[in-house]
Structure 1
Amino acid sequence: MTESATARTVRVWDPFVRVFHWSQVALIGAAWLTEDGPKWLHENAGYLLAALIAIRLVWGIVGSRYARFSDFVRGPRAVALYLGELSRGRERRHLGHNPAGGAMIVTLLTTVTATILTGWLQTTDMFWGSSAMEKIHEVAAILVLVLAAIHVAGVVFESLRHHENLVGAMIHGRKRVDGKEAP
């Protein structure tokens, strides 16, 4: 970035958030590609995802400003209000995650965790060979892909709507400051 471009931007996504995000993309992709084997690679992708999520949960409490859950997790009312404003073209741009984006993060973290947990449970004596647990794991994994597609669509929409490359921001960590952002 040029010096003038840097002066009009602010660091939003810290290195851990960016590494977490892209590692999650890669590991979920690896898990999907290895669902039929090699089993060790599929399982290790799950274990690595579990470790990443555990660290992310801690980072969501003690991390940088925009990484903290307190910065972007909002209740259903705030999400509904934001979506209403969005549908009328009156939503404010957020430097961090907007309320809908925050809800998506919580939903994705929960669904990925459920997928990991149900996969791991199938390795325990209690659920070894359980077709019900296998089906729950499969449904959760499919839901992760559906949510990821909605997430990508939201990123594309917001990028176009606010004239901002959000994928680039998740690579270099910086976003434009124009003084009109929501607090």
Structure 2
Amino acid sequence: MSEYHRVWDPLVRLFHWSLVGFYSFSWLTGGEWNGPHKISGYIIAGLLTFRVLWGLVGPEYARFSHFVRPPREVFGYLKDIVAGRERRHLGHNPAGGAMIITLLVLLSLTAFTGWLQTTDRFWGEGWLQDVHGVLANSVLVLVVAHIAGVFVASRRHGENLARAMITGKKRAPAEDDHA
């Protein structure tokens, strides 16, 4: 058995880091630099569309069927984290899978409310601008929680998950890991 196992394909990694960059740019330019902000929002919408399609037809670890778990499993995994007995997962763990779905949904709603503001029907609607801002800020809160989860899992399981999202490789599964 090799020391490392390829988990994240190049398209998942490119999607992830592109989304990081474009969301950061969009969040920082919201309300200040309208033209580039809109372009970035359209790019994010395209990235999200790609990720949903890739989640249906991509390789094993990219597929939703591999990491989307029922709420019972997600909450059980969270309880295991608190108790310090969570199993290492080669792909996304149940909490990470739930985070991905939540981020995809909130980012999609953020992009959608941004686009709605460009239509004649909703141009200049203050309430929609407020909803868009709340969604964008909610994504930021989830990003912070995501980073904290990556940090905790990296420490607990002795591997650098951020590096794995760059290289695509994680430590090969041990006997008690969930592959």
Question: Would you call these one fold, judging by a TM-score over 0.5?
Answer: yes
User: Does structure 1 residue 144 correspond to structure 2 residue 115?
Assistant: no
- Corresponding residue to 2:54 among 56, 59, 65: 59
Query: In the alignment, which residue of structure 2 is the partner of 1:40?
Result: 35
Please tell me the residue identity of whatever aligns with 1:58.
L
C-alpha distance in 1, partners of 2:66/2:25? 31
Structure 1 unaligned blocks of 5 or more: 1-5
C-alpha distance in 2, partners of 1:44/1:180? 46
SS in 2 for 1:22: helix
C-alpha distance in 2, partners of 1:38/1:140? 19
The higher relative CO (CA closer than 8 Å, separation ≥ 6) is in 2
- Corresponding residue to 2:175 among 176, 179, 183: 179
User: TM-score of the superposition, structure 1-length normalised?
Assistant: 0.94
Structure 2 unaligned blocks of 5 or more: none
User: Does structure 1 residue 165 correspond to structure 2 residue 160?
Assistant: yes
Query: In the alignment, which residue of structure 1 is the partner of 2:114?
Result: 119
Query: In the alignment, which residue of structure 1 is the partner of 2:22?
Result: 27
Query: In the alignment, which residue of structure 2 is the partner of 1:103?
Result: 98
C-alpha distance in 2, partners of 1:179/1:63? 26
Residue identity over aligned pairs, in percent, reads: 52
Please tell me the residue identity of whatever aligns with 1:89.
G
C-alpha deviation, 1:113, in angstroms: 0.6
Q: Render the CA deviation track for 1:48-98: whole Å, top value 9, x for unaligned.
A: 000011011010010010000000001111101111111111111000000
Query: In the alignment, which residue of structure 2 is the partner of 1:3?
Result: none
Query: In the alignment, which residue of structure 2 is the partner of 1:73?
Result: 68
Number of residue pairs matched? 178
C-alpha distance in 1, partners of 2:116/2:89? 39
| 4+ residue segments displaced more than 4 Å | none
C-alpha deviation, 1:34, in angstroms: 1.4
Q: Render the CA deviation track for 1:109-140: whole Å, top value 9, x for unaligned.
A: 00111110000001111111111100000000
User: TM-score of the superposition, structure 2-length normalised?
Assistant: 0.97
- Corresponding residue to 1:11 among 6, 9, 13: 6
C-alpha distance in 1, partners of 2:79/2:99? 16
C-alpha distance in 2, partners of 1:65/1:175? 15
Query: In the alignment, which residue of structure 2 is the partner of 1:133?
Result: 128
C-alpha deviation, 1:180, in angstroms: 2.4
Q: Render the CA deviation track for 1:6-40: whole Å, top value 9, x for unaligned.
A: 92111000000000000000001111221133211
